[in-house]
Amino acid sequence: MSITLETEHSIKKKYPKRHNHYGFRDFFQFDPDKGTIVDWNGSQNILTTEDFIVGLVEGLQEEVGDASAATMYTIGCEWGTKDAFFFEKWFEKEFDRNVRQTNLMFLLETWWWPFTAQGWGRWEVDMGDRKQGFMFINIFDSAVARTLGDVGKPVCYLYAGLFAGFFTELVKKQLSCIEIQCYSMGETYCKFLLGGQDRIDAAAFWMNEGATARDIEKRLRAGDILR
């Protein structure tokens, strides 16, 4: 977890333009006197256990029932939207370049690296279908799915919301996201579909009908959407 603060990071102060700063001891600055962990971009981090994630997911389920998925997604969306502004600021400061004048894949890798360092998992972006208005993101080692284990359904609503919020802000166009394959369904990694609401609704419908991620990919590529 991280909260944005205006705090100075001592290694960053010494090497402000260093880009390879994602090693554990470089990215995080531990201050035992203040009891804080501040990362390279000035966010205060809190270390949590898997029990915390279980508590968050199950507690929410108990409080709001089936609405917990939508609640997690909405939290993710707001997080992603805010992070897009935060990212724009630190990216421009670090690289002396506007995000819109930067190679897109490089930009996205740079956005995700702090998340990787914080334990949210590695990712892979598949932009092969972006001209058709959708794209896929794979997450390896999702913190939520890894914690909950095989529960037979997708659980990474927080991630889906995060991607929807961030990419909506990045491309200035309303985008939604759905997890179409999850480690918690017994798969080896999580797969997210990002696109307009019509495609996400179609994917959700097909999933309810028992479609696999591969089926959904095929149908989208074939231009199959709900009428």
Residues lying near other proteins in the complex (CB under 8 A) are found at: 11, 19-20, 22-26, 103, 105-106, 108-110, 113
Q: Based on CB atoms, which residue is closest to other proteins, 112 or 157?
A: 112
Minimum CB–partner distance for residue 188 and other proteins (Å): 15
Three-class DSSP labels, 40-81: CCCEEECCCCHHHHHHHHHHHHHHHHHHHHHHHHHHHHHHHH
Q: Based on CB atoms, which residue is closest to other proteins, 72 or 108?
A: 108
CA distance 161 to 140: 17
Minimum CB–partner distance for residue 108 and other proteins (Å): 7
Contact present, 189 and 140 (Cβ < 8 Å): yes
Q: Based on CB atoms, which residue is closest to other proteins, 113 or 120?
A: 113
Minimum CB–partner distance for residue 1 and other proteins (Å): 22
Nearest by Cα to 157 from 83, 47, 88, 56? 56
Minimum CB–partner distance for residue 157 and other proteins (Å): 25
Q: Based on CB atoms, which residue is closest to other proteins, 130 or 219?
A: 130
Angle between helices 68-95 and 104-118 (to 10 degrees): 120
